Amino acid sequence: MIFNFLLILVFFTEAIAQVQVVGAKRDILKGKILEEEDLTYITIGYKQSGTFENINDLIGKKLKYNIKAGEVIKDFMLDDFDIKPNTKVKIIYDKNGIRIELLGRTVEGGKIGDIIKVKNISTNKVIKCKVLDANTVLYITGEN
């Protein structure tokens, strides 16, 4: 009787310990900006720290390391951006003493100093800009 109870207890514990986290659908190289097609859900025995339970939390993030197919993606594997994709930003055009400020929305994320794509909200044109801070980019002339 005690053996049956322990067997049921072990089975019950294992059954509820399963959790789905986000992992790599295929091998992904360092520096890749993650897209939905790169990601899948993987069932593991228990919730580990630094894991993600929602694919949307990883879309647009950049990898610091190469990741193998089937590997669970953890927060330390990601490169944090100073400016995230789909963020409203101030676009600065500054040339020959002329300074214009416009509103834009980032197409890509990046760190300070990176060149990223930004959509000019007034024209819907995608332009290349240098990230100055979390809310400001500088239009790079001749780069589009």
Confidence of residue 71 (pLDDT cuts 50, 70, 90): very high
Lookup: tokens for 89: 């930003």
As a whole number, mean pLDDT of residues 55-75 equals: 92
Quote the mean pLDDT of the chain.
87
> What pLDDT score does 64 carry?
92
8 A C-beta contact, residue 42 and residue 57: no
The CA-based dihedral angle spanning residues 66, 70, 74, 76, taken in that order and rounded to the nearest 10 degrees: -10
* CA 21 to chain CA centroid, nearest Å: 15
Q: How much of the chain, in percent, has pLDDT values that exceed 90?
A: 61
pLDDT per residue as tens digits for the range 86-115: 899 999 999 889 999 999 999 988 889 999
> What pLDDT score does 113 carry?
92
As a whole number, mean pLDDT of residues 72-85 equals: 89
8 A C-beta contact, residue 103 and residue 90: yes
> What pLDDT score does 27 carry?
97
As a whole number, mean pLDDT of residues 114-138 equals: 95
As a whole number, mean pLDDT of residues 123-134 equals: 95
Indicate the DSSP class of residue 60: T
Number of other CB atoms surrounding residue 72 within 10 Å: 16
Q: Is pLDDT of 56 > 50?
A: yes
> What pLDDT score does 69 carry?
96
104/108 Cα distance (integer angstroms): 12
Domains of the chain are 17-79 (3.90.1210.10), 88-139 (2.30.30.760)
Number of other CB atoms surrounding residue 125 within 10 Å: 11
Confidence of residue 7 (pLDDT cuts 50, 70, 90): very low
